[in-house]
Amino acid sequence: MSFKSILSLAALLPFVTAQASPYSETIDGYTFIKSGPNVLLPKIQYEMKFAHTALSILKTSIGPDGLIAALQPEIKKADTFWHDVIDSSTGSWVPADGRGIAFLPNLTAIRFAAWSQSPLADAANNDANPEHYVKRTIALANGTLESEIVEGWGGVTTHFTIPNYGTPDRVKNPFLRELPEFPIQAAGDKVLMDGTIFGVLHISVRDVKGADYGQEHDGVEIYASVWYGDGVADAHLEEEREHITVEITNLALQAQKDIESGVFNPPF
């Protein structure tokens, strides 16, 4: 070995020794050993990061109107799915429930509610869950917020509006829970583009004491339910429960970021 090649080997040595040892993980019951990246993490962590990037680029490039046009075949399938649920329901309603408590230094229940009504919430919505495609909200003349949404749950990719999100109407929808421990609540119909009400959304928020959970900061509890006719399969409700918990976490995190960065100035 020449002197020169010994020198270049020595130059390489710090990198060789600094490299993390191979990483072993079990996927689908099989063992995989990998190395290369400076920071070795489970495959799912790299893959989720890349999936978020790809979805974000696709959604932004195609845009809301392009997505609505491209997804028409899926939207038609979802319309059929919901009409079948309604036709096979007995008149009783069942919920898909998801709850989450977030411990974030700058978030309170009233701040989360105010952020949720701001344009920042629409902007965050497409990243709140991979199955979010479109959300745009307009303020109606009577002050009610009307949202147009394309969203999927386990592939049931639905185009709908929420035309009346506001104080829960327990006369029209007596199945909505009272939840007296939640001071901030809103509800609204989920309406297919043909005018059919296929669900009712109910979101409640409250402050919780960090000390009750061994946490440094007080927390915010978000309790979301979507009510459907009892013809819906529990397997579908389970997709929605999973979806809701992802959404609660990501939206609470984004609200915290927007307050921390000063993009959102909480009025309280």
Ligand X SMILES: *[C@@H]1O[C@H](CO)[C@@H](O)[C@H](O)[C@H]1NC(C)=O
Choice from 64, 166, 210, 231 touching ligand X (CB under 6 A): 166
User: In the range 212-251, which residues lie near ligand X by CB under 6 A?
Assistant: none
Q: Is 261 in the site for ligand X (CB under 6 A)?
A: no
| Pairing outcome for strands 184-192 and 23-27 | unpaired
Measured torsion, CA atoms of residues 54, 56, 58, 64, in degrees rounded to the nearest 10: 160
Q: Is 173 in the site for ligand X (CB under 6 A)?
A: no
Q: Is 172 in the site for ligand X (CB under 6 A)?
A: no
Q: Is 210 in the site for ligand X (CB under 6 A)?
A: no
Q: Is 196 in the site for ligand X (CB under 6 A)?
A: no
Query: What does the alpha-carbon distance between residue 222 and residue 66 come to, in Å, rounded to a whole number?
Result: 32
The runs of H, that is alpha helices, within the chain are 3-18, 43-70, 72-87, 109-116, 119-128, 234-260
For residue 209, the SS3 value is coil
Q: Which is nearer to ligand X, 133 or 165 (CB)?
A: 165
Say if residues 155 and 243 touch (Cβ distance below 8 Å). no
Choice from 118, 144, 196, 245 touching ligand X (CB under 6 A): 144
Choice from 89, 106, 118, 196 touching ligand X (CB under 6 A): 106
Q: Is 105 in the site for ligand X (CB under 6 A)?
A: yes
- 3-class secondary structure per residue, 103-124: CCCCCCHHHHHHHHCCHHHHHH
Choice from 142, 211, 216, 267 touching ligand X (CB under 6 A): 142
Q: Which residues bind ligand X (CB under 6 A)?
A: 105-106, 140, 142, 144, 163-164, 166, 259
